[in-house]
Amino acid sequence: MNEAAPRRTRMTQDERRRQLVGIGLRMLVERPIQELAVDEVAREAGISRGLLFHYFPNKTAFHDAVVAAAGRRVLRNTAPDGDRSGWDAVAQFAERYFEQVDRRRASYAALVFGGGAVTLEGARVEDLRETMGARVRALLDAPETVAPVTDAWTAYLEARALRWSAVPADRRTTGPVEEADHCVRALGALLDLD
């Protein structure tokens, strides 16, 4: 019995790029970015490998688009509510960050650790951490001079969230609120602003 080829759907260039990146994001849950096969992505999209390279000039550019989209997802899902400010907003951001990592631990770990350097020698991951550090500074109205502290704190937040989420839920002794509170208190001590 012959398996029918996937039916091609005509899409605009932007729609097709979004579709391909979406497939890449879904696959990122199962494997590190370096193992994301463009042949498999193209097949699932119902297009040829050559057509995929019409939308992305090379495999690295495709991987870069997937990593950037994953970073945007993290930022979107961890943004505090607009009516929050100061330490209250930082606490909500930290809590949402723990929840995000817990919900998507495998894809987040694949994004951050992969099987080696993520695109551009990890630049996208560093950009994500720096963007989160900038978010914290903005929420606290802190000067740019504390950037090394807030950027390092986001790496600490990430490491703690990954370690916490690795413990099976029924064996955890803390929840995301307690973990976020610990991290926010640590930031307060580092900044000595509270």
> Which is more confidently placed, 26 or 144?
144
pLDDT (0 to 100) of residue 4: 54
Q: Are residues 19 and 102 in the same domain?
A: no
165 and 148 together in one domain:
yes
- Residue 8 falls within a domain, yes or no? no
Note whether 96 and 133 are same-domain residues. Answer: yes
97 and 40 in a single domain? The answer is no
Of 43, 63, 83, the residue that ends a domain is 63
Query: Do 171 and 112 fall within a single domain?
Result: yes
Q: Are residues 174 and 81 part of one domain?
A: yes
d(CA 159, CA 1): 50
Q: Per the domain annotation, does 89 fall within a domain?
A: yes
Tell me: pLDDT of 117 over 50. no
| Phi, psi for residue 15 in degrees, rounded to 5 | -60, -45
| Co-location of 160 and 130 in the same domain | yes
Say if residue 115 is in the same domain as residue 144.
yes
Confidence grade of residue 194 (pLDDT, cut at 50, 70, 90): very low
Q: Does residue 42 fall inside a structural domain? A: yes
Within-domain flag for 3: no
Backbone angles phi, psi at 8, to 5 degrees: -75, 140
Q: Are 84 and 136 contained in the same domain?
A: yes
Q: At what angle do helices 59-78 and 13-28 cross, to 10 degrees?
A: 80
121 with 183, same domain: the answer is: yes
What is the CATH classification number for the domain harbouring 54? 1.10.10.60
Tell me, yes or no, whether 20 and 94 share the same domain.
no
Closest CA to 147 of 159, 131, 163: 131
43-56 pLDDT tens trace: 999 999 999 999 99
* Cα end-to-end distance, the chain, whole Å: 70
- pTM recorded for the entire structure: 0.79
In a domain, 96, yes or no: yes
Task: Express each pLDDT in 158-188 by its tens digit.
Answer: 999 999 999 999 999 999 999 999 999 999 9
Domain containing residue 164: 71-191
Report residue 173: phi and psi, to 5°: -100, -5
